[in-house]
């Protein structure tokens, strides 16, 4: 009798546990669709198909030689312990020095914080700068995790539509119009941007930051594609405001996606808050990656060659794709993306990308990932792959669209 009772109690506890085991409401963020396309492409490859990958935004090249050599040497030297929470001092100094080299700016290394990719930098920055419920402006189309991280943290991402009249960037006017609806606490800017590849001119960037600050907003500038600028040189928000939060990464220009390392340049007022958060959330950033990242700055010549490859790929696509019927793109100023208007071929970019993958063997990302409404008329093509793949893609897309 007693045993039966215990069993029943156990069942009840199990049922209770199951009912408690529901994902939280704030975890219900949309998936990052590009990862679904990648998985579908992998399934086709497992069946023996050759797929041209233009879906994921990552360099085909690996980390530069000096980074690899430094990592190998560090592995031979002995155990890798934790580092200071804000990052190894010499790396923070090296990053600060790079602001002098690239932009002629004098940045205090104390303001540099090393992070686990720029992805972790966004979590830290949003946590340090915003309260739950704060409204933060992001561009549409734009990089989806800005919106989804803000949502998961209880903030409200506010998508501001951009278009050709404003070169696909938020402007002071569009920002203030949204601020007038209900006050905004922050603004995320990216130039060059993902998925569009478009950049903001120095006056446009300065104007927007000035406007955001005078309306009391915190500005976060995602500069992960700096170094990959073709139309004109990218301008850092660090040169325009000491109050802006600058986010950057070793993933793109430095070809180190899998090393998961990035950084921020912070306004002094946020430093201690970010240090406390990172102490608790991560303790420190992977030591091997920090050592490799510092040495990556010595791989400039190699990295500039990789960049030259992107420029050639960009040219191949801009010259070749119009002949296939894909002839409308946003200004491809930087990064390694073409955002192509496919609205005359479809009203559903996910279905279009799925068919392109199945029938032409070319994997691209549906625009709906970046813009829940108008994204149905666009796909994003990443041109960070091999040169032969660009030619192959043009040929395959041409046959497919004409066939």
Ligand X SMILES: Cc1ncc(COP(=O)(O)O)c(C=O)c1O
CB of 194 to ligand X, least distance (A): 4
CB of 368 to ligand X, least distance (A): 17
- 251 touches ligand X (CB under 6 A): yes
CB of 19 to ligand X, least distance (A): 35
Sign of CA dihedral 28, 376, 138, 276: positive
- 162 touches ligand X (CB under 6 A): no
CB of 228 to ligand X, least distance (A): 11
Stretch 191-230 residues interacting with ligand X (CB under 6 A)? 194, 222, 224
- 376 touches ligand X (CB under 6 A): no
How many chain residues are in contact with ligand X, going by CB under 6 A?
13
| In the complex, residue closest to ligand X by CB | 117
How far apart (Å, rounded) are the C-alpha atoms in residues 135 and 60?
Answer: 37
Residue with tokens 């040497």: 73
Contacts of 126 (CB under 8 A, 6+ apart): 136, 149, 150, 153, 155, 220
How far apart (Å, rounded) are the C-alpha atoms in residues 355 and 400?
Answer: 10
- 249 touches ligand X (CB under 6 A): yes
CB of 251 to ligand X, least distance (A): 3
Residue with tokens 């808050």: 273
Question: Is the CB of 187 or the CB of 360 nearer to ligand X?
Answer: 187
- 334 touches ligand X (CB under 6 A): no
Sheet hosting strand 365-366, strand order edge to edge: 337-341, 378-382, 365-366
Q: Which among 104, 379, 342 has a CA at the least distance from the CA of 238? A: 104
| Crossing angle between the packed helical segments 117-129 and 144-152, to the nearest 10 degrees | 50
Residue 7, classified by CB atoms within 10 Å of its CB into exposed (0-12), middle (13-18) or buried (19+), is: exposed
- 257 touches ligand X (CB under 6 A): yes
CB of 98 to ligand X, least distance (A): 16
Stretch 29-58 residues interacting with ligand X (CB under 6 A)? 57
Residues binding ligand X (CB under 6 A): 57, 117-119, 143, 190, 194, 222, 224, 249, 251, 257, 262
């Amino acid at each position: 009798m007693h045993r039966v009772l215990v069993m029943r109690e156990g069942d009840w506890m199990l049922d209770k546990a199951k009912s408690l085991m529901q994902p939280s409401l704030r975890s219900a963020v949309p998936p990052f669709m590009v990862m679904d396309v990648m998985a579908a492409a992998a399934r086709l490859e497992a069946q023996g198909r050759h797929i041209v990958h233009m879906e994921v935004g990552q360099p085909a090249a690996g980390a530069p030689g000096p980074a690899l050599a430094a990592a190998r040497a560090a592995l031979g030297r002995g155990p890798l312990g934790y580092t200071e929470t804000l990052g190894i001092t010499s790396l923070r100094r090296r990053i600060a020095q790079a602001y002098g080299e690239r932009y002629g700016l004098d940045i205090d290394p104390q303001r540099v914080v090393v992070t686990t990719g720029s992805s972790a930098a966004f979590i830290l920055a949003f946590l340090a700068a915003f309260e739950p419920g704060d409204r933060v402006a992001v561009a549409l189309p734009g990089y989806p995790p800005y919106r989804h991280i803000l949502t998961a943290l209880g903030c409200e991402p506010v998508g501001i539509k951009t278009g050709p009249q404003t070169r696909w960037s938020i402007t002071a006017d569009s920002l203030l119009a949204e601020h007038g609806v209900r006050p905004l606490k922050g603004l995320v800017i990216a130039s060059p941007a993902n998925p569009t590849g478009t950049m903001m001119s120095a006056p446009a960037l300065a104007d927007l930051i000035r406007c955001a600050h005078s309306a009391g907003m915190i500005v976060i500038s995602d500069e992960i594609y700096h170094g990959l600028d073709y139309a004109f040189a990218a301008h850092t928000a660090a040169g325009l405001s000491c109050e802006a939060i600058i986010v950057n990464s070793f993933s793109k220009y430095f070809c180190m996606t899998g090393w998961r390392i990035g950084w921020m340049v912070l306004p002094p007022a946020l430093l201690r808050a970010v240090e406390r958060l990172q102490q608790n959330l991560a303790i420190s950033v992977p030591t091997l990656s920090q050592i490799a990242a510092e040495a990556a700055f010595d791989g400039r010549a190699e990295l500039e060659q990789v960049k030259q490859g992107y420029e050639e790929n960009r040219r191949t696509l801009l010259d070749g794709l119009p002949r296939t019927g894909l002839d409308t793109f946003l200004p491809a100023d930087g990064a390694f993306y073409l955002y192509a208007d496919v609205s005359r071929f479809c009203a559903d970019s996910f279905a279009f990308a799925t068919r392109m993958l199945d029938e032409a063997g070319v994997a691209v990302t549906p625009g709906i990932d970046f813009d829940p409404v108008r994204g149905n008329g666009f796909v994003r093509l990443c041109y960070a792959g091999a040169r032969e793949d660009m030619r192959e893609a043009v040929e395959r897309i041409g046959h497919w669209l004409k066939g």
